[in-house]
């Protein structure tokens, strides 16, 4: 039997199975709001605890702007809700023209239930070159309740560079 001890920052399964972009280095982030105790960096930087939480209820937008266009293979989104039942909707879309127009990649609803459905992970395979902006719009409760949007993790896997 072979055995390896994982380094502390490599123990999470969500971090192991991708060659993720270093978003701190390649992207600027624009957000509609954030709770000071749960800033957006907690969802974008590997190893950061707790994720992002909006500063108030209602629809929220997280936009990653890439000064240099990137080719995106896939996007991983991870949401958690342990406090209340609610139906969340999100839309993930991308732009190749600095946000002048967006192309919808995924629109999804999820019914959170703290007892049995408290987490959602989506692996969205894009295969899109030249992305200059990636936008996530979250409606935390489609019934209009007081829920605040949250995002535990967002990761982007780039396309392999062209050979040669």
Evaluate whether the domain defined by 26-158 bears CATH number 2.60.120.260: yes
Alpha-carbon torsion angle 87, 88, 89, 92, nearest 10? -150
Domain parsing of the chain, residue ranges? 26-158
Residue 71: half-sphere exposure toward Cβ, Cα within 13 Å: 6
Q: How far apart are CA 15 and CA 4, in angstroms?
A: 17
Paired tokens of 157: 């896997």
Rounded to 5 degrees, what are φ and ψ at 73?
Answer: -80, -50
Query: pLDDT tens digits, the chain, 164 residues: what are they?
Result: 554 555 544 444 444 567 999 999 999 999 999 999 999 999 999 988 889 999 999 999 999 999 999 999 999 999 999 889 999 999 999 999 999 999 999 999 999 998 888 889 999 999 999 999 999 999 999 999 999 999 999 999 999 755 44
- pTM surpassing 0.75? yes
């Amino acid at each position: 039997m072979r055995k390896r001890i994982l380094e502390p920052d490599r123990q999470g399964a969500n971090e192991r199975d991708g060659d993720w972009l270093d978003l701190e280095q390649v992207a600027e982030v624009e957000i509609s709001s954030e709770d000071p105790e749960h800033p957006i960096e907690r969802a974008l930087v590997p190893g950061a605890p707790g994720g992002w939480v909006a500063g108030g209820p209602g629809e929220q937008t997280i936009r990653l702007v890439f000064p240099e266009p990137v080719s995106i293979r896939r996007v991983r989104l991870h949401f958690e809700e342990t406090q209340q039942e609610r139906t969340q909707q999100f839309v993930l879309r991308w732009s190749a023209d600095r946000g002048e127009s967006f192309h919808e990649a995924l629109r999804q609803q999820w019914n959170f239930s703290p007892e049995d459905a408290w987490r959602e992970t989506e692996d969205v395979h894009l295969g899109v070159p030249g992305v200059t902006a990636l936008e996530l719009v979250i409606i935390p409760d489609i019934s209009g309740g007081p829920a605040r949007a949250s995002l535990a993790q967002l990761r982007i896997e780039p396309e392999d560079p062209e050979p040669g």
